[in-house]
Structure 1
Amino acid sequence: MALQEDLNTFMAGVRTQLPAEVLAPVERFYAELDKPDRFPYLLHIGERAPMFTLPDATGKIVSTEALLAKGPLVISFYRGAWCPFCNLELRALQTALPEILALGATLIAISPEKPDYAMPLIERESLAFPVLSDLGNKVARSFGLVYTLEGEARRISLDTFGTDLPKFNGDDSWELPVPATFVLERNGKARLVFFDPEFRNRVDPALILSTLRDLQQACV
């Protein structure tokens, strides 16, 4: 089953368990995020990505400059270990990891969560790629991905789902990155950009692999 089918199946189960008055305000909030020009600083295909360094769950510093020196780089921004849609995506990326590595690329995942919350996720999902902590969403902001969870959507997120972002992220901003995936060429330019403010939609790993194969062919 493709990743998006898994995500849709999960959401169908959620709809059977939660009343419309809970889901409707959340869906209205994310529909507002999908308006044109809502994310004017989003990194686009062909643009050079900002370089950065971030710590992984063990405190080791990971540098995009060093990773790109080895080959293409796949960057997955996710909301946090509390997000079941993110967990499904990370699980799918882990399944695709051997092929990603075989194509000469590196995979990293980034969230604004503190490392304390990343380590249980890594262990639970048996993730074999770096999971980095972007405290304050500084890197996500440089990619043009950041929004603030507000109003009824914030209240429902906290009261109904127990998503205490200040606790998880270590600040009171209630900021999150739109889940997004970038494939960077060795020169740092974006070859693939998947960005959708509807957080239940994620890139299929097959598209990532297809992009990496195209890059490999171009280098032959």
Structure 2
Amino acid sequence: MNSPISPPAPSSTSTITSIPSSSSSSSSSSSIPAPATTAPQATFGSPYAAPDAAAELLRSTGIGVRALRAGDAAPYGALLDARGGTVALPDAWRNGPAIVLFIRGGWCRACSLLLRHWREYGDELRALNTTLIAVSPQSPELTDRTVVDNGVDFAVLSDPELAAANGFGISFTLSPDAVDLYAANGIDVPVLNGNGLWVLPVPATYVVGPDGVIRYAHIEGDPTPAPKPEDVLFEVEERFGWQ
């Protein structure tokens, strides 16, 4: 049964919910800081990869060519919420723009830090009438744990069938060296995701408009620095303005 789309409830993590604008935060006098010029170290492929390695892996897998970019139509994908209910990915941008974060999972330290960073921007998201969701291939049970452990109040969705990751063109099979590195650190990706595959999404950030068209995309390993939340919100403001 599909999970309904309903007004936001702080205690619920089972639905994608647009965050309505509020009179206290939607004033045109508010502003998002200009994009930052620095960003955290890239971690594509393994949690410990350097930025140059991230760029090389992006080239070697072909993801830099096949990944969806600004101007492309965002794909449909049936995902699972933290309780195992089915959620249609396009519901995220049905009533306004959406920010879609692709992460490896709650076991990834960089991913957890990103989720915790984003939880500080609820007022800005409401002012921009923008929905924020995170997508990972891990199981719904582990997704629920990720939500609790990181104290987030936005939807974190499971993509164990890789419908969204494949749709956006950012899934890749880990190399034997990467598999060995993950295994040596006790990270059993096939078990964590429950699909038997050594496949992960490349960490990525997308902004999708209510028409389903991607307006902004950044894939880890791109030449430009990885965006911080304030950078992404600046992109949303530039394209859609205050609501």
TM-score bucket of the superposed structures, by smaller chain: 0.7 to 0.9
Give the match's secondary structure for 2:230. Answer: helix
The answer as to whether partners of 2:135 and 2:159 remain within 8 angstroms in 1 is yes
Letter of the 1:73 counterpart? A
2:126 is aligned to 101
Q: Find 1:164's aligned residue among 188, 192, 217.
A: 188
- For residues 80-95 of structure 1, the aligned pairs below 5 Å read 80-95=105-120
CA RMSD of aligned residues (A): 2.7
Deviation at 1:74, TM superposition (A): 0.7
Alpha-carbon deviation of 1:139?
1.3
Paired AA for residue 141 in structure 1: N
Are 1:177 and 2:201 matched, yes or no? yes
1:114-148 superposed Cα distances (whole Å, 9 cap, x missing partner): 01111111111111111111013121011010111
* In structure 1, C-alpha distance between the alignment counterparts of 2:128 and 2:171, rounded to whole Å: 30
Give the alignment's TM-score, normalised by structure 2: 0.74
Partner of 1:19: none
- Once residues 184 and 114 of structure 1 are traced to their aligned partners in structure 2, the CA distance between those partners, rounded to angstroms, is 25
**Structure 1: stretches of 5+ with no match in the other structure:** 12-22
1:34 is matched with which residue?
Answer: 58
> Is this contact kept in 2: 1:50–1:142, CA < 8 A?
yes
Report if the CA contact (8 A) 1:45-1:191 is conserved. yes
Q: How far apart are residue 37 of structure 1 and its match?
A: 7.3
Of all paired residues, the percent bearing the same amino acid is 31
Structure 2 unaligned runs (5+)? 1-35
- For 1:34 and 1:54, the matched residues in 2 are separated by 25
Matches within 5 A, 1:118-157: 118-157=143-182
Q: 1:59 aligned to 84, 87, 90, which one?
A: 84
**Residues 154 and 193 of structure 1: is their aligned pair in 2 closer, same or farther, counting only changes over 3 Å?**
same
Candidates 205, 208, 216, aligned match of 2:232? 208
CA distance in 2, matches of 1:102, 1:110: 23
The partner residue of 2:95 within 70, 89, 112 is: 70
Note the C-alpha offset of 1:168: 0.2
Could you tell me how far apart the structure 2 residues matched to 1:97 and 1:46 are?
27
Q: Tell me the distance in 2 between the aligned counterparts of 1:166 and 1:67.
A: 27
Residues 185 and 31 of structure 1, relative CA distance in 2, 3 Å threshold: closer
